Structure 1
Amino acid sequence: MSDDPEPAENISGGTAGGGYADTFDADTPATRAEAVVDSLGDLYWQKSYGGRNAFECLVRTILSQNTSDVASQPAHDALMDRYAEARSASNGASGERSEPRSGGAGDLAEALAAADQVELAETISSAGLYNQKSERIIDIADRIVTEYGGEDEFDAFVREDDPGAVRDALLEMTGVGPKTADCVLLFAGGRDGVFPVDTHVHRITRRLGLAPPDADHEGVREHLERDVPGEKCGFGHTAMIQFGREYCSARTPACLDDPDACPMADLCDQVGVDPETGEVTDPADVGIADD
């Protein structure tokens, strides 16, 4: 049994997601954002990411949209059971791969491009919005087969091409937004300096005061990628999500009951949180100026 503390239900895939435990520079952090990430790493895990199959990672991230990782994981597992039985590539935690294929037997993109939409929707129903997601997955799979030749060629593109060009190509795909594109760059491409922003990261970063209270998701991403060393962005993202689940929820952050209950208390501006009244508002409604 692995001693990796990251849950398997995380979008990274946990122990099966290609990430591995790592250690990073322990010198005095250069920014408060780096100090937050270092503290989260001490609280949860310090890892580097990369090694996931890029197309599978893209599908997994689409399944996670507008739902929890706990709910989307069974949909991913069911999809893989039904459509990836013949795959010959290995995507274990080591990130090792078999020799590339050029489409053909075992190519998940080809299998999904040819999938019956109703059958696929039924397969992924636990993820919610399954009709919309099944249509998107089939459309993207067809595009990857047509434009790249299959999942291995797409995987090589994500790993080897200019990250800006990869991000732009992903964002051109139906249903792929910045967070989805960045997850593929991080968990499949293993790219440093990529900090995907989901609802947890968006909320927590502004609540801590690491980005302007009215920053949108892209604004938060720009601040984090500017202020956090590139090699720490990956575990900063996954550990911050875990922190949001355990301590800094949208409606009942731990500091409402006891300031000392939050491990980030000494680094947090509590933007939008008033422990005295118990009121919690979106940081954008507070209107604190960017520092």
Structure 2
Amino acid sequence: MPEEPAENISGGVGSGGVDTEFAPEDADSRAAAVVDALGELYWQTAYGGQDAFTCLVRTILSQNTSDKASQPAHDSLLNRYGGGDLAATLADAEQSELAETIQSAGLYNQKSEMIVGAAEEIVAEFGGAEGFDAFVREEDPGTVRDRLLEIHGVGPKTADCVLLFSGGRGGVFPVDTHVHRIARRMGLAPADADHEEVRQSLERDVPPEKCGFGHTAMIQFGREYCSARKPACLDGPEACPLYDYCDRVGVDEVDETVVDPAKAD
């Protein structure tokens, strides 16, 4: 059984997660059955406990890039600016210097602007990283999510990652590119669903305590088996451990072609 990858910007080392166990059950939905099957394939982790502002920065850095690129940028940022209140330090940071520090993450000018702006906003409203962390952990999740979405550069996936990996909120299933593709390809959400509609479908159908694990495990499944261009099922049913759960929307196993589920006949 593979260990949780260290370079998983959402849930790897430093995520604040702890090992846990849950037994496969008589699932009430196919989405729940898929998550149970992923639980037999991968690690099982309960998330929460990461510093909220650090989590926000990590997730901004991960936008539109791979963990392989964003992790070194995160490490460089902490090496240069860590050691105190990270929000206060970055609120006063020179943007050009920060952009240079995080350039391996790509889109570094835009991301440095987002990070400095978020830091300024958090210092002004919450007094710094500690106050922001308390807000994320203790306030109503809907209130937290709405407030996070008001920050420039924070979209639904970023907000949900902060809720999950910092706040430890059950019932939060962040949707990235992998989750969006797999949920629609498997038939767990409508083929033409956008990210928010996929999130709503999964959070409705997956038990709250399994949503965080489902998010990270589905990402890993997407990397190892259900890639965008060549999913494992093209090599035959035995090549994919979740074959029996999947509708393979947009996948033609005979012609060996793959299209986005929204474009499937």
- Shorter chain as denominator, the TM-score bin is over 0.9
CA–CA distance in structure 2, aligned partners of residues 15 and 139 of structure 1: 27
Aligned match for 2:85, one of 86, 89, 107:
107
- How far did 1:26 drift? 3.1
Single out whichever of 68-77 and 11-20 deviates more from structure 2.
11-20
User: For residue 5 of structure 2, what is the aligned residue in structure 1?
Assistant: 7
| Structure 2 counterparts to residues 52-67 of structure 1, below 5 A | 52-67=50-65
User: For residue 145 of structure 2, what is the aligned residue in structure 1?
Assistant: 167
Single out whichever of 256-265 and 139-148 deviates more from structure 2.
256-265
Provide the identity percentage.
71
1:31 aligned to 2:33? no
User: Does the CA contact (< 8 Å) of 1:44 and 1:239 recur in 2?
Assistant: yes
Change (3 A) 1:13 1:235: closer
Aligned match for 1:176, one of 142, 150, 154:
154
User: For residue 234 of structure 1, what is the aligned residue in structure 2?
Assistant: 212
- How far did 1:4 drift? 8.5
- How far did 1:245 drift? 0.3
CA–CA distance in structure 1, aligned partners of residues 13 and 140 of structure 2: 27
Residues 118-157 of structure 1, C-alpha deviations (whole Å, 9 max, x = no match): 1100000000000000011000000000010000000000
CA–CA distance in structure 2, aligned partners of residues 249 and 41 of structure 1: 19
User: For residue 185 of structure 1, what is the aligned residue in structure 2?
Assistant: 163
SS at match of 2:33: helix
User: For residue 91 of structure 1, what is the aligned residue in structure 2?
Assistant: none
SS at match of 1:15: coil
User: Does the CA contact (< 8 Å) of 2:11 and 2:216 recur in 1?
Assistant: no
1:253 aligned to 2:231? yes
1:139 aligned to 2:137? no
Q: Structure 2 length as normaliser, TM-score?
A: 0.98
User: Does the CA contact (< 8 Å) of 1:4 and 1:21 recur in 2?
Assistant: no
CA–CA distance in structure 2, aligned partners of residues 284 and 11 of structure 1: 28
User: Does the CA contact (< 8 Å) of 1:109 and 1:142 recur in 2?
Assistant: yes
1:276 aligned to 2:251? no
Gaps of 5+ in 1: 87-105
1:16 aligned to 2:14? yes
Q: Which structure shows the bigger proportion of residues in helix conformation?
A: 2
Q: Report the aligned-residue RMSD.
A: 1.2
CA–CA distance in structure 1, aligned partners of residues 107 and 172 of structure 2: 27
| Structure 2 counterparts to residues 30-49 of structure 1, below 5 A | 30-49=28-47
SS at match of 1:16: coil
CA–CA distance in structure 1, aligned partners of residues 105 and 208 of structure 2: 31
- How far did 1:13 drift? 4.5
1:204 aligned to 2:182? yes
1:223 aligned to 2:201? yes
SS at match of 2:168: coil
